[in-house]
Structures are given as C-alpha cells and as structure tokens.
Structure 1
Amino acid sequence: MTRPSFDTLYQALLARDASYDGRMFVCVSSTGIFCRLTCPARKPRVENCSFHETVAECIEAGFRPCKRCRPTTPEASADPVVKPLIEALEKRPGYRWGEPDLVRMGFEPSTVRRAFKRHFGMTFLEMARQRRLQEGFSALAGGGKVIEAQITAGFESPSAFREAFAKILGQPPGAFSTQPLLFADWVASPLGPMIAVTDNTQLHLLEFLDRKAFPAEFRKLQTFAKGRIGFGRTEVTDQIQAELDRFFAGQGGTFETKLALHGTAFTRDVWRELLRIPAGDIRSYTDVAKALGRPEAVRAVARANGANQIAVVIPCHRVMGADGSLTGYGGGLWRKQRLIEIEQGYRSKG
C-alpha cells in the first residue's frame, strides 16, 4: 500500500473509513492512546494525531491500545493463540507476564513468540513489558507515589521496580524531587518512546529511552538542577510533542520550542550551527568545522555532535562522514537513516 497523506488519513479517521481497518492506526499524543481509524470515541484534534502502519510501531512509540476499539485485536482476531492473550493483557496490563503463565494457559511459549512476531513485530512478553513500564511511568508523571507506580507497573518488590526504573533513567524513582525545577515526562514518537525534560519556558533534554548514553546525560542534568528534577508535564512538553507529531506526519520540518543548551561554549556553537542546516540537507564534520571558522577542529566537532542531548530537534543526524557514510548516531543508525528519509521528503516538497 502506498502510504496516504496525513490529510487523507485524518479525513478517513473523521469518516471512520473501514477500508483502513488493520492497515493504519492513529496515535493520540494528548491521551497516550492508539486506535483504529473506525474507533467510535470522540475524534482527536488534528495536531494531536500521528499515523502508523502497525500495532508494533504504536506500542514502541509509547502508546497504549484503546479499550473501546481494541486495535490489537482485529488483525489477529482469527488467531487462536493471539486473541486470548491480548484479552488477558488488556485485563491485567500491569501484571508481570512470564513463560510459566503461558504454559498454565495451555500455550507453547515458542508458538506464542512466533505468532506475536508475525502479527505485531514483537513478542507477547515484549508487548507486556512495554505496557508495564508505560503504566508505571504514567502513574508517576500523574503525581502518584512510588509505591503506587510500583503496584501499577506490576512489580512485586520496591527493589525490582527501582532497578528497572534506574536502568531507564539512571536513578530510582525515589530520587526524583517533589519540588522540581525541571519536569520529566514520556514523549511518544514513531521511532520509539522518548523522555523530555522541560521547565516552564525551555526544553532541556529530549532523548530516546534506549540510548546507552541517556542515563549519563540525565545525571548531568540532575547535577545542573541541583537534584531538583521531578515528574510532570509543562506547556513546553506539550509543545514539543505537537511539533514532533507534525514532523513525523510530514507536516513541518522546523521546531519553534525554545531550547536550553547545556555544554561548553564550543559545544553550544556546534549545536547552533547544526540548527542552521535545513531539513533535507547533509553536512560533513569538516563542513561544520569550516562554517565555525575552525577547520582544524573536525574531531572536536564530532565529539560535540555526539554530545547532543536534544535529539531530532538539534539535527545531529544531518551530519555524515566525509565519504557520505552514516557514521555513528547515539540513537542507532536505523533511526538516523529514517530521519534522513523523512527530511528528504520535505526537500522534495520544496
């Protein structure tokens, strides 16, 4: 299927066009939910929508399935392995599912694994883990206590919950401030869930959760804030979510969110130079060094590029090796390739 335009898909959503059922899904940033286009729920505002072709893309972007239209069910409803497990997951999203549970329900774990990979692009246990982490983080961001988030996320012991949480953010949930200067919250994207850290006027950090350097970046920001990073969402968080949605939907390649740049003077100069690269254009590290009037500083430019803490918005993905190779990207070369492809679309539109 040739992917329809965003406007076409949004009109299909408004019309509840059944021809897209099982082929496209809508993710709603204001609710964190994804739905079939035929969902009977009230239709979301256009700026809160993004569209994806698979359930796996929606879940990996940090969205939870709608309980009204049950988008995880239609494409696999005829599969006797998938349907009962999806229903069980919907009833217990915070439960810590394991292979013994599958055996007790009469399923062979390897059969379940193959069936879910075929239908959703991820295993049942991977899907269940994503749901648990989303439930726990949402509880914390909504003002819940750590013990409430632990229970919501399905962790039997506080230590296990802290360990899992620390693996993501580099510190246990109890270390977050109850009187924060900066606020951390989950931000959805088609390339995977992200964490945004904002204050009431600026974006301080935007990073993919699975980036290896993320915990270290978060600790540096925690030092800057003197330990006063807490959970929560600001108008800046909503703004960057809306701008990311537009970007990935092909509606706009620029960002207006005000940025807080943390780094040395040279590092900040490199990031500002990156911001001058138009969407769809590519530069080499040598090009950036020359533009700064420091042609000898190619390696320093590469280090500053790699130290970027505001992914996608500060476009370090637009810098390649001198031979045109993708070279390193902290978020993964597959993401770099996808971002370049998206921006080439903007360039072709002029």
Structure 2
Amino acid sequence: FAGYRACKKCRPMELSGTHPDWVKKLLEKIDSSTEKKIRDGELRAMGVQPEKARRYFMKNYGMTFHAYQRSRRLGNALMNIREGSKIDDVIFDNGYDSHSGFRDAFSKQFGKPPGRSAGTECIVTSLYQSRLGPMIIGAASKGVCLIEFSDRRMLEYQMKTLRKRFNASIVPGSNQHTEQAKLELDEYFTGNLKSFKTPLIYPGTDFQVKVWENLKKIPYGKTVSYIELAKKAGFKGASRAVGTANGMNRIAIILPCHRVVNKDGRLGGYGGGLWRKQWLLELERSKS
C-alpha cells in the first residue's frame, strides 16, 4: 500500500470483490508467519507461478509480492520495537538474517534506524471486503485514519495526505483499530449496528476538522443538506466549501459523509460513487 494504486478495471456492481483462493492462501501464510519469507520455489510448490503473483500484487497493491512481504515484515518490526522488544529479537523474529540488512531496510522504509524509532509513527493498511466492494482500512497507533473504497480516484492523493499529516510510512498490516473497524463494519453492513465505537484520528485544517466533527453528529437513517451542515458547523453561507471538506473526508461510513445531500433531496456527490451512496442510505432507512 505504500505505493497503492486503485485498479482501473474495477467493476463496481460486482459486490463481492474478493481475492482468488490462491491469493487468500498467500496472505494467510504471510500473516501467520511474519518471520518466514516465501520465496519463488515455495510459490511454485504451492502451485503459484512467481510471475503471476508479481502481476497480481502490482495490479492490486502497487508493489510486487516480495515487496509486499518485506513491507509487512518491517511494519511488524516497528510495532515490536514500539512495544519494547529487543532489537536482536525483532531482527530474527521478522525474517532477517543480519543486523546490517535489517538496519538498511528499516532505515529506508521509515527514515531512521531501528535504535531511534521507538516513537516513530506508522500507518498500517489492510484490505476489507465489504458488501459494496473492497475497501482500504488504515490505522495509526491512536485510531483509524482511513476507510476508503479501493476504486476511488482520490485514494492515491489521500495516501499522500496521510503520509504528510502523520509524518509516517504506510505499510501493509493490521492493529487493534483496523480489526475493530472490520468487525463493526461487518455488523453495520448487515444492519445490526448503528453507532461505531472504533477510535478515529483525522488531522486536517481547522475548517475541515470542524466539518468532520459535525458529520459524526448526523443520526443514523437521517440526512442533512450541505446548507444545514454549514450552519451546524458554524459556517453559514459556506455550503460549497463545506461540500469540499465533506468530499475530503478520509473515513467513509464511520464519518458519514454519505448522509449529506442537496437541499432538494437529490443525492449530490459521493467519492465512492452515487450507487454506493444510494445503497447506504437505503440500508439505514430500512433499519431505522
């Protein structure tokens, strides 16, 4: 995800959007054993041609399969260091054979050597298969900072903004916040959850943050107009600017920008696509 690119051949009405079984097995193997590198020979033994894995990961993750593994291990290593693990243990627990090789790779990824990284922030990102297609969920140490449909055109820009706002690298992985978000989103999409408890963190301009704070106050199953949202946020007469801030929201669904519509009741805009906005509003109305 460090160089994530959304797939340009996405078919949004195919709601499952799941990985092929061979990719699921690879991801499960990586997650269950971060200290072990899956080399080309092992890929072939699993019935997967290395070139096929390379193409798939480049298309869907913006990096090769081996680069994905490396980023995943380094992200895990940083979390280990932040939790107080000894550097020697971190090196070998994450599949590195030497101090120098680990130090060079770590410094290149995070901009500082392992010994000076205890306070370094890192954003971990993982794929979530929603009812409306794949989503990217990203989280820092204090909460979720990204929930976005993987085919949104602004996703690459949002990733750049996150790197700048947090002064952090983005690597594949998960933490307690991404996992909580996935569980709650599962409940939301089945109509069993109306209020999220996942911690959020959304740095922005003072204007943006004020707008996003007011998004959280829009009740489940209700909508407000851009004009109403501007008034509630204390920016009466600035509905266009409020609409722009609404569109810059990086945390879809939990910060419910889909609940903002035109004053005449028409849907207005939605970065994830109007068909998704319609689906979300209909779900909430049916359960209210």
Q: TM-score range by the shorter chain?
A: 0.5 to 0.7
- Asked if 1:164 corresponds to 2:59, the answer is yes
| Aligned position for 1:244 | 185
Deviations 1:161-219 (A, max 9, x none): 56424559xxx748947145221112221111111111343111111111111111112
Query: Corresponding residue for 2:99?
Result: none
| Alpha-carbon distance, 1:314 to partner | 0.4
1:253 counterpart (194, 204, 229): 194
Structure 2 counterpart of 1:82 = none
Name the counterpart of 1:322.
263
Aligned partner of 2:130 in structure 1 is 189
Where does 1:297-308 land on structure 2 (aligned, <5 Å)?
A: 297-308=238-249
Aligned: 1:337 with 2:232: no
Q: Is the Cα–Cα contact under 8 Å of residues 141 and 231 in structure 1 kept in the other structure?
A: no
Distance 2:215 2:156 in 1: 24
Q: What are the equivalent positions in structure 2 for 1:1-350 lying under 5 Å apart?
A: 57=15, 59-60=16-17, 62=18, 93-94=21-22, 132=23, 134=24, 143=34, 151=43, 156=51, 160=55, 163-165=58-60, 167=62, 173=68, 176=71, 178-179=74-75, 180=78, 181-347=122-288
Which amino acid in the other structure matches residue 249 of structure 1? Answer: T
Secondary structure, counterpart of 1:287 in structure 2? helix
Return the offset for 1:222: 2.5
Deviation at 1:146, TM superposition (A): 8.2
Cα 1:202–1:294 change in 2 (3 A) is: same
Amino acid in the other structure paired with 1:278? P
Q: Please tell me the root mean square deviation across aligned C-alpha atoms, in Å.
A: 3.0
Q: Per the alignment, in what secondary structure is the counterpart of residue 328 of structure 1?
A: coil
SS in structure 1 of the partner of residue 51 of structure 2: coil
Q: Is the CA contact 2:124–2:172 (under 8 Å) kept in the aligned structure 1?
A: yes
Q: Partner amino acid for 1:164? A: K
Question: Which moved further from structure 2: 268-277 or 225-234?
Answer: 225-234
Task: Percent identity, please.
Answer: 32
**Aligned partners of 2:209 and 2:253: how far apart in 1?**
16
- Displacement of 1:263 in angstroms is 1.1
Secondary structure in 2 matching 1:309: coil
Residue identity opposite 1:196 in structure 2: I
SS of 1:156's equivalent in the other structure is: helix
Please state whether the residue corresponding to 2:147 is helix, strand or coil.
strand
The count of residues paired between Structure 1 and Structure 2 equals 221
Aligned partners of 1:225, 1:294: CA distance in 2, in Å?
Answer: 27
| More contact order relative to length (CA 8 Å, sep ≥ 6) | 2
Q: Which amino acid in structure 2 is aligned with residue 212 of structure 1?
A: R
TM-score, normalising length: structure 2: 0.67
Question: Where in structure 1 are there 5+ consecutive unaligned residues?
Answer: 1-55, 65-92, 95-131
Contact 1:283 1:320 in 2 (8 A): yes
Q: What is the CA-CA distance between 1:321 and the residue it aligns to?
A: 1.2
Give secondary structure in 2 for the equivalent of 1:317: helix
